[in-house]
A and B are shown apart, each in its own frame.
Chain A
């Protein structure tokens, strides 16, 4: 299933791009997607520093299941204001 992944702030710098599209296996979750990304971008290790995740503009936990066409966003703690 195709998943659009958006990176923001420091995570976009680490990925070198604001957006990628991935073909994820069935039963993939945000956590498994992150683990795959950490293998590709070591600085994105989910155990190092805090990475927040959202699916279709809604905050989710790591065990959130993914569905074809989902938009996943990964970003550091927010710092607006």
Chain B
């Protein structure tokens, strides 16, 4: 399942709908909005995307994760719009029979999002704002 959403991500709901009795592992990665960046207090983040291409790149990441790793299912949901510290910006949920494949596929998916999927964040500080133009 691939989604770009503007409402809070229901990670528990994604996990519930994904997991099956044949799974021996469910690995969940949540990206969370941090309240600081390079020593400055972050009040909020604004995520924007080239949505058509972001969905296509996420579909490719999904396909590639299934091809490279022995997983049963994967879900990737990225939130767009204004987010505040502590909120979940992205969730990757992977289910597999064994843990290694789930960990590896989850890591692959979030790294691909960070490197290739056309989504950007702007940081809002107490005294200004700035685009973030590298992943960390």
Contact = CB atoms under 8 A, between A and B. Distances in A.
Interface of A: 6, 8-10, 13, 49-50, 52, 54, 57-59, 73, 75-81
Contacts of A76: 120, 131, 133
Contacts of A78: 114-120, 135
Contacts of B93: none
Contact of A8 (B113, B115, B118): B118
Contacts of B47: 80
Interface of B: 31, 47-50, 52-54, 56, 78, 89-90, 110, 113-122, 131-135
Contact of B56 (A8, A9, A57): A57
Given A80-B120, A81-B89, 16 more contacts: A8-B50, A9-B122, A9-B133, A13-B131, A54-B53, A57-B50, A77-B134, A78-B135, A79-B131, A79-B135, A80-B47, A80-B78, A80-B121, A80-B135, A81-B78, A81-B110
A5 B49 CA distance: 15
B90 A10 contact: no
B31 A6 contact: no
Contacts of A59: 116
B50 A6 contact: yes
B52 A80 contact: no
Contacts of B49: 8, 80
A6 to B, nearest CB: 7
A10 B56 CA distance: 22
